[in-house]
Amino acid sequence: MEIGQNIKIAVDAIVFGYEGNKLNVLLVKQKFGIMKNQWALVGGFVKDDETLHAAVNRELKEEAGIKVSYLEQLYTFGDDVKRDPRFRVISVAYFALVNSTRLFLTADSDAEEAQWFPIKELPPLAYDHKDILQVAHKRLQSKLRYQPIGFDLLPIEFLFSDLENLYCTILEKEIDRRNFRKKMLSFGIIEETDNFSPRKSGRPAKLFRFKKEEYNKLSEEGFLFEISFA
């Protein structure tokens, strides 16, 4: 039986950052083609000789000049056969959490600009990238409810209130801060340092840091992390 198929495979990266109590997403402005000057997620076509993971890492480097330590496969988008007006394209989307303050963006390849945008202040997006971003945002919110992720969004040392505010920002709800602090400390995945916040206003507060090895150990063993809301 002859199969008529002419499908292209692409990858897209939803990279979340956090700064100033705002959840941000990395976007690039298209340099060429029918979507020229429109903002889009980082992404592009997979080469014949590379894996999906290699392709998305290459696109991040080429279009935004960054490298991320961890990418999680999100979803495959292709139910809409006209999602790309040029031809039939199926996209495998990945998402990542990064400390955006430590990354220097440099647009290259087919990207005119690379920029962080607050997730609530997005420009119109090319293709179906708005839908892709919404799926990624919901996945992030869902994971945060049962797994204490998000430390990659913070500096190496942070105030506990910064961690609380991060959760409130992403979940878009006020959490029970007393219960949250008690539960987070009970897992032993963060520890208090001997350093104080450089902020001059108010009483000096101790800084905390994430204990990645302890977190990985608990993740392998399995543990329940439920968030209570105010």
Residue 215 CA to residue 72 CA, distance in Å, equals: 17
| CA neighbours closer than 13 Å in the CB half-sphere of residue 13 | 33
Amino acid at residue number 6: N
- H or E segment and range at residue 165: helix 160-171
Within 2-80, where are the H helices? 52-64
CB neighbour class for 115 (10 Å; exposed up to 12, middle 13-18, buried from 19):
middle
Q: What is the dihedral of CA 209, 213, 214, 216, to 10 degrees?
A: 120
Residues 6+ apart with CB under 8 A from 224: 146
Mapped onto helix, strand or coil, the DSSP state of residue 74 is strand
Give the DSSP letter of residue 175. B
Q: Do residues 225 and 147 lie in contact, with contact meaning Cβ atoms separated by under 8 Å?
A: yes
- Catalogue the E-assigned strands of 31-103: 39-40, 42-45, 72-77, 89-97
72 classed as catalytic = no
Q: Of 62, 72, 113, 157, which residue is the catalytic one?
A: 113
Query: Tokens 């399995």 map to which residue?
Result: 222
Q: Which residues are catalytic, by number?
A: 113
